[in-house]
Amino acid sequence: MDYLIKADNVSLRVPMLIPADRQLLSNPLRFISDLYLGRSSRGVSDLLQGVSLTLKPGQRIGLIGQNGAGKSTLLKLLAGIYAPTTGSLEVNGVVKGLFDISLGMNPEATGLENIYIRGLQMGLSLGEMRDRVPQILEFSELQTVIEKPLNTFSTGMRLRLAVALSTMVIPEILLLDEWIGTGDLGFRDKVRAKMLSVVDGAKGMMLATHNVELMKSLCDECLVIHQGSVVFAGDLDIGLKFYEEEIHERASAKSLLCEAEQS
Amino acid sequence: MNSLSSLMYMAYFDFAVKYRKTMIGPVWVLMGPTLFILTLGLLFGEVSNAQAEVFIPHLAIGLIVWTLVSGFVSGSTTVFQRHRAQILQGGMTLIDIVVVDVLKIGLLFMHQVLIVVAVMIYFQIEWSVYSWVSLFGLLILVVNGVWLTLFFGMIGSRYRDLTEVVAAVMRIAFLATPIIWLPEERSSDGVVGLFLSFNPFFHFLDIVRAPLLGDTISAVSWTVVVALSLCGALITVAFYRRLRYRVPLWV
């Protein structure tokens, strides 16, 4: 096995419903007629087009691209949540993606119950979870409140629990959609140390973030994604420069042009 | 795929948490059906010539099994929307999610079975060798619940209309199925006979209820149950192969 992930010419094309032009601007009551006559048209949307990439052991790849370029979609595809419409995707190893880590908890259940529920959902047995609970409690510093329902937790406390839970298993292949950094000052360092240990423990990583400094400190290579295609693959510094010059500038030039046309 | 014991714990956690803030907890799931059976049993005892010892067991078993069946059908259309977070985070497959939902409805049913037991003791209905067929029927019902939830869940996540359709159909099906009325001897033909023959719910209900009451299960019922189970399961497998990766895009 000389690679962890190998994607060859992968595309993801999804059928989409495009609601008819509502013209709410001209008449706000139009939405009533649209509710019953809902003339939506069917279309297809190419979320990813011809993406090829390999992730080798020890490699850490950064994903660069504008909002909506397809970074998260690509990560979800690599995590096995979506399947490619065309092309082939081979994955060797246990993949774990950290997406929306604070979703999916039960607000009525206590913190401790949520630890178990989440652990079971991640495929651990009840026994394995029992062994991990002290470690999770120690990391999240929630020992005093853990028996209370989750909806009494503050936002910060909930995030701590989410971070502790999602970093308790170190996967072989780590897919990160935005770096997890949160909490008050003291906790932030702790999270950072924990995240770095997870990254170090993983055989390979892919990280999508807009934080350039962070990407420079963690990744050595990058993929620049634009409108669902990989437009650059290779060295991180060159990639960042390419992104700055080609895509970012062009996009801002385009918006300037639009503004000029409108005025 | 998670192990079955993990899925059971998940269902149990969900079930336990749901009744956390109530005063008497899951006892509530007994109150509703009990009131229904008592009221309707007494009322129909007055207005019709059905004997209580025939009608009330018929009603009680019918209602409790119906709650299980309609729980599967009604819950199925929204199962994946309700578990959006679990789907988008990975970790649980669609089948895992379906099994947890089915087990949760099963837990509810296991509480309500107490009502059936109480009614059977009260009316001194004996447990015979033939009665065991009822448990086999129940097993068939639960297995059907799995494919049905998976199938309707996938379709329902794309076409949200399905929830409305199912709600409308289930309301009629409750009345069209012999739960609050007794099919008469002569009803095997005529309009009522058609209602029964073309009502799949009747056949699934019958394979659980008839053995307990000592009635025979017709060959038609077995045929319909076996045919629907096999066809349903096969169609679901075919759809699952095609749609499993679409569902995350739809929820």
Q: Can you tell me the distance from the alpha carbon of A239 to that of A237, in angstroms, rounded to the nearest whole number?
A: 5
In this prediction, residue B186 carries a pLDDT of: 54
**pLDDT tens digit at each of 251 positions of chain B:** 678 889 999 999 888 888 887 888 788 889 999 999 999 988 887 777 778 888 999 999 999 999 999 999 999 999 999 999 899 888 889 999 999 999 999 999 999 999 999 999 999 998 999 999 999 999 999 999 999 999 999 999 988 899 999 999 999 999 999 998 888 755 556 667 777 888 999 999 999 999 999 888 989 999 999 999 999 999 999 999 989 888 998 88
Helix pair B132-158, B94-122: axis angle to 10 deg: 140
E strands, A154-262, are 173-177, 204-208, 221-226, 229-235
In this prediction, residue B116 carries a pLDDT of: 95
| B89 in reach of chain A (CB within 8 A) | yes
With contacts defined as CB-CB under 8 Å, which chain B residues touch A108?
17-18, 20-21
Q: Do A81 and B18 touch (CB under 8 A)?
A: no
Nearest by Cα to B83 from A125, A103, A101, A79:
A103
User: DSSP character for A93?
Assistant: S
Which chain B residue lies closest to A150 (C-alpha atoms)?
Answer: B17
| B160 in reach of chain A (CB within 8 A) | no
**Within its chain, how far is the Cα of B243 from the centroid?**
25
In this prediction, residue A179 carries a pLDDT of: 84
E strands, chain B, are none
In this prediction, residue A15 carries a pLDDT of: 80
Asked if residue B3 lies in contact with residue A125, where contact means CB atoms within 8 angstroms, the answer is yes
With contacts defined as CB-CB under 8 Å, which chain A residues touch B12?
none
The H or E element that residue A50 is part of is strand A41-55
With contacts defined as CB-CB under 8 Å, which chain B residues touch A123?
2, 6, 91
Q: How far is CA A146 from CA A67, A110, A113, A128, A187, in A?
A: 37, 7, 9, 19, 17
- Which of B20, B81, B88, B101 to mutate to probe the A interface, most A CBs <10 Å? B88
Q: What is the mean pLDDT of residues A185-207?
A: 88
**Bridge partner list, A16:** A43
| B20 in reach of chain A (CB within 8 A) | yes
Does pLDDT of A182 surpass 80?
no
In this prediction, residue A105 carries a pLDDT of: 87
Does pLDDT of A247 surpass 80?
no
pTM here is 0.87
B95 C-beta neighbours (distance < 10 Å), count: 16
Six token digits for residue A97: 């993606």
Q: What is the mean pLDDT of residues A33-59?
A: 82
Helix (H, G, I), strand (E, B) or coil at B226: helix
User: How many inter-chain contacts (A to B, CB under 8 Å) are there?
Assistant: 74
Asked if residue A262 lies in contact with residue A77, where contact means CB atoms within 8 angstroms, the answer is no
The structure tokens 């018929």 sit at B58
Q: Do B88 and A99 touch (CB under 8 A)?
A: yes
**Residue A195: partners with Cβ closer than 8 Å, 6 or more residues away:** A167, A179, A180, A181
**Within its chain, how far is the Cα of B165 from the centroid?**
17
φ/ψ of A207, rounded to 5, equals -130, 125
Q: Which domains does chain A have, with CATH numbers?
A: 94-202 (3.40.50.300)
Which chain B residue lies closest to A79 (C-alpha atoms)?
Answer: B90
Q: Can you tell me the distance from the alpha carbon of B178 to that of A157, in angstroms, rounded to the nearest whole number?
A: 53
Q: Can you tell me the distance from the alpha carbon of B143 to that of B139, in angstroms, rounded to the nearest whole number?
A: 6
With contacts defined as CB-CB under 8 Å, which chain B residues touch A81?
87-88, 90, 245, 248
With contacts defined as CB-CB under 8 Å, which chain B residues touch A106?
13-14, 17
**Residue A57: partners with Cβ closer than 8 Å, 6 or more residues away:** A2, A3, A4, A203, A204
**Residue A87: partners with Cβ closer than 8 Å, 6 or more residues away:** A7, A8, A9, A10, A11, A50, A51, A52
Nearest by Cα to A225 from A14, A71, A53:
A71
| B49 in reach of chain A (CB within 8 A) | no
The structure tokens 């699952």 sit at B240
Q: Can you tell me the distance from the alpha carbon of A178 to that of A86, in angstroms, rounded to the nearest whole number?
A: 27
Helix boundaries (H) for A58-170: 71-78, 111-121, 126-140, 155-166
Q: CA of B105, closest CA in chain A: separation in Å?
A: 18
Q: Give B156-213 as a DSSP string.
A: HHH-THHHHHHHHHHHHHHHHSTTSSPPPGGGGSHHHHHHHHT-HHHHHHHHHHHHHH
CB burial of B58-92 (b: ≥16 within 10 Å; e: otherwise) equals bbbbbbbbbbbbbbbbbbbbbbbbebbbbbbbbbb
Q: Do B13 and A126 touch (CB under 8 A)?
A: no
Does pLDDT of A194 surpass 80?
yes
Q: Do A82 and B21 touch (CB under 8 A)?
A: no
Q: CA of A169, closest CA in chain B: separation in Å?
A: 12
**Within its chain, how far is the Cα of A222 from the centroid?**
16
Q: Can you tell me the distance from the alpha carbon of A84 to that of A7, in angstroms, rounded to the nearest whole number?
A: 10
In this prediction, residue B25 carries a pLDDT of: 79
**Residue A83: partners with Cβ closer than 8 Å, 6 or more residues away:** A77, A89, B244, B245
Q: CA of A16, closest CA in chain B: separation in Å?
A: 9
Q: CA of A84, closest CA in chain B: separation in Å?
A: 9
Six token digits for residue B5: 């014991």
Six token digits for residue A186: 């003291």
Q: Do A121 and B10 touch (CB under 8 A)?
A: yes
Q: How far is CA A49 from CA A12, A75, A135, B22, B63, in A?
A: 7, 14, 42, 52, 53
**Bridge partner list, A57:** none
Q: Can you tell me the distance from the alpha carbon of B160 to that of B154, in angstroms, rounded to the nearest whole number?
A: 10
pLDDT band at residue A1 under the 50/70/90 scheme: low
